[in-house]
Amino acid sequence: MTPQTLSVGPVGVRGIRFPLFATLITLNAQDALSRVHRPRFGAVSRAPHIPDALTTGPFNLEDARRHGLTKDHLLGASWRRLGGGYYAFHAVAQDPNVVLAAAIRRLPREAVFSGRTAAWLHGLDLPPCEPIEVTLPVDSPTSRLVGVAVRRSTVDASETVMRRGQPATSVVRTIADLGRRLRLVEAVATLDMALHRRLLELVHLSSWAGAHPRYRGVARLRRAIELAEPATESVMETRLRLLLVFARLPRPLAQISLHDEDGHFLGRPDFYYPLHRLALEYDGATHRENLTGDNRRQNRMVDAGYRLLRFTAADVFSAPDSVVALVRRALSATTTTR
């Protein structure tokens, strides 16, 4: 029996006919494909399972499984790996408190945060996790952990405190350690910061240095103590002051209030040479935000007979010799005209 045929018509090739059953199969297949690729408007993908208990701090795989998650779930965008088998919810994974909480769970019980990490825990503006700094007992077998700088030293019980829920070296031990280890400028800047915030006094550091004369770097700590200035309000002010001192210029006074002849307050420059009536200012972000007020203050000071030199970070870092030369000439000019 001859199979029935269907003319394709204008969509086919003139004069060619195809069997009916073949045409039906082709049409059915095309319709199936169109249904597969047709967008389903209104369809919403299933939200990932995020247990509330795992959104505020670090956790390991065992913790995740107790809350219904698997290792595959932790590969999703909602979670971040912190290292050492610990994870955190993506919104808090960069929080230093979370990072440190994960790190301490990987360390021996005797471990304490120290160095810059401890300084941050005490409230200083230093990076706490670049890397995380930890001190362990001298006889501890732990020597290396990814992302953690491990040091061995004796830390007395009186030198260990809890800050932000984490064990850390005391503020005196922390600043003493940084004063011994950092380069001199950074060491002095750290001391200035801690002293300005009244976390300790210079006598405390001097006493610690006297009680630990054999510790490495104590001589540098003593030099940093000599150069420290509690009135300094920023790291860049410390850098500017040390630039002048290291160039053998007189050490300026810091944050001295100036008045006119009638006793009216004029301003409080960053540094001041009273014998020369020369004031120095470091212009940082605060100056840019308060330019009008700073200019008025400068005008009042100049009108009252004071001289003022202003410097920026670019001056300190890129043209230190020019800074020193300007201050030196200003001091010399005053001396020769007196």
**Positions in the chain short of pLDDT 50:** 5-13, 24, 27, 33, 337-338
* pLDDT score for 272: 97
Q: Which pLDDT belongs to residue 296? A: 83
pTM of the full structure: 0.80
Residue 143 is predicted with a pLDDT of 76
Q: Please report, for the chain, the start and end positions of each structural domain, with discontinuous segments joined by +.
A: 52-93, 173-230, 244-337
In the prediction, which pLDDT does 44 show?
57
Q: In the prediction, which pLDDT does 13 show?
A: 47
Architecture of the domain defined by 244-337? 3-Layer(aba) Sandwich (3.40)
HEC states along the chain? Answer: CCCCEEECHHHCCCCCEEEHHHHHHHHHHHHHHHHHHCCCCCCCCCCCCCCHHHCCCCEEHHHHHHCCCCCCHHHCCCEEEEECCEEEECCCCCCHHHHHHHHHCCCCCCCEECHHHHHHHCCCCCCCCCCEEEEECCCCCCCCECCEEEEECCCCHHHEEEECCEEEECHHHHHHHHHHHCCHHHHHHHHHHHHHCCCCCHHHHHHHHHHCCCCCCHHHHHHHHHHCCCCCCCHHHHHHHHHHHHCCCCCCEECCCEECCCCCEEECCCEEEHHHCEEEEECCHHHHHCHHHHHHHHHHHHHCCCEEEEECHHHHHHCHHHHHHHHHHHHHHHHHHC
Report the pLDDT value the prediction gives residue 247, as an integer from 0 to 100: 98
